[in-house]
Amino acid sequence: MDVRSRNHVTVTGCPGGPVVMLAHGFGCDQNLWRLVVPALERDFTVVLFDHVGSGGSELSAWSPERYASLDGYADDVLELCRELALGPVTFVGHSVSAMMGVLAAGREPGAFAGLVLLAPSPCYVDDPATGYRGGFSAGDIDELLESLDANYLGWSGAMAPVIMGNPERPELGEELTNSFCRTDPGIARVFARATFLSDNRADLASVRVPTLVAQCSSDAIAPPEVGAFVHARIPGSRLVTLDATGHCPQLAAPEETAAAIAAFAGAAG
């Protein structure tokens, strides 16, 4: 299958400019980047795509075996880089896509000019034995997944506003709810397990490309301690704390998010 069609690839912006590849998180699609794209496409070639099973991707390409872990998604990212042949890209991974970028860069560092890890988490589950705080107990995650399995639409309506934050702007939570609800529930169940049960802490040290860790000042899904952990484990990485709150700064604070990406990608490219 053609990779561009499989992942509903869109290329826009400045031909010949440094390449920025934007990767969305769980339950989303490339549309959630729409507010940052205009600020980026003036100076960069911007690559947008949908993970298989999301948005306008080719659903027939999805299989529970390939996408039961983040490795399948990381393989897709590398295939996209090879197919597009635009040279090293600055990969911007939001939420779970941040760890897809970590995995991909660990395997083929030459494909990347840099990584921007936006609201990343290498492991959502607390690990009392090591003192790691992911933000959720193992019981919390079990309950979350059980609720998703039992009533995905109800789960989406309850969880999306929590993930988005910014309760004074309910339209943001409604947009994320609608995005979740457009995802096939069967695919969402598999993707949720790949997301919330992953543990990529040991993979962080393998990153050898310039990396920006961009966390939000308040985030129920990826608290500040998690961003600090990622920064500490990736050699030579930079950490910035955005004024933005919630887990989706590309929607809640697109100007600030675009500026952080552009400043880093311009230097990396």
Compute the distance between CA of residue 232 and CA of residue 59 in angstroms, rounded to an integer.
38
- The dihedral formed by the CA atoms of 67, 34, 264 and 78, expressed in degrees to the nearest 10: 30
Compute the distance between CA of residue 9 and CA of residue 31 in angstroms, rounded to an integer.
12
SS3 of residue 255 by DSSP: helix
Instruction: Check: CB of residue 190 under 8 Å from CB of residue 64.
Output: yes
Tell me the catalytic residues: 95, 219, 247
CA angle, 143 then 250 then 120, to 5°: 50
pLDDT at 1: 75
pLDDT at 267: 77
Antiparallel, parallel or unpaired: β 19-23 and 238-245: unpaired
pLDDT at residue 80 above 90? yes
Q: What percent of the chain has pLDDT over 90?
A: 97
pLDDT at 67: 98
Computed over every residue of the chain, the mean pLDDT equals 95
Compute the distance between CA of residue 33 and CA of residue 175 in angstroms, rounded to an integer.
13
Compute the distance between CA of residue 136 and CA of residue 115 in angstroms, rounded to an integer.
26
pTM listed for this prediction: 0.96
Q: How many CB atoms lie within 10 A of CB 172?
A: 19
Compute the distance between CA of residue 260 and CA of residue 84 in angstroms, rounded to an integer.
25
pLDDT class for 269, splitting at 50, 70, 90?
Answer: low
pLDDT one-digit tens code per residue, 97-155 = 999 999 999 999 999 999 999 999 999 999 999 999 999 999 999 999 999 999 999 99
